[in-house]
Structure 1
Amino acid sequence: MDADNGSLDSAFMALSDPVRRGIIARLSRGPATVNELAEPFAITKQAVSKHIQVLEQAGLVTRTRDAQRRPVHLNPARLEALTSWIDQYRLVHEGRFRRLDTVLQSRAAASGELPKESS
């Protein structure tokens, strides 16, 4: 995935809606039709189709044709790209927290205080 702002914006905007996140969660178990995806939601099939279109435009899902069926598939490569983008920031902050822990432990050791156990 390109890390450009438009690409990220469309993906995160698509995931900002709880119905779309529910659709992604369902598709993580395998492909499904619009009817199958609509079952758990108290909205019309047309509304679910619009949510799928948003996910499709963001590159998070794809549709194929299987005879009369048009199953929707998760695009795991797109989700992996989003996860990688998030991970780069998570790793930076984890490193900062580790350095802060080291500083706090050395100060506590220098002052003779024992670090408190977290519960």
Structure 2
Amino acid sequence: MIISGDDSIGIEELKQFLCHHFEMKDLEPLSYFLGLEALSSNDDLFLSQAKYASDLVSQAGLTDCKIEYTRLEPNIQFTPQDGTLLDDATLYWHFVGSLIYLTNTRPNISYFVHLVS
């Protein structure tokens, strides 16, 4: 569980309350949690999934690929009859789910992830 806020006294009281009711550890400064990297400065908290995205690219075997910018046709509609069916769609589902999770910090890919999902 991540607890964050600007009321340090309230956060401490909440942590004490939770410790009395649940077995838990306080791991202190948040750095990496469920694929989210957290970097804090004075008053800001920045979330990044750079490592998560890099790991995803590696899992897909795309680390040596070149980037090519391709425009997508407006109002494109994919159907199950498009392309070749996969022998096992489980890997595809895994990558689509991972891309959906990546939209937490990269909302700019949401439309394209929606299309492939």
Q: Say whether the fold is shared (TM-score over 0.5).
A: no
- TM-score, normalised via structure 1 length: 0.31
Higher relative contact order (CA 8 A, sep 6+): 1
Which of the pair is proportionally richer in helix? 1
Which of the pair is proportionally richer in strand? 2
- TM-score, normalised via structure 2 length: 0.31
Quick check: which has more Rg, 1 or 2? Answer: 1
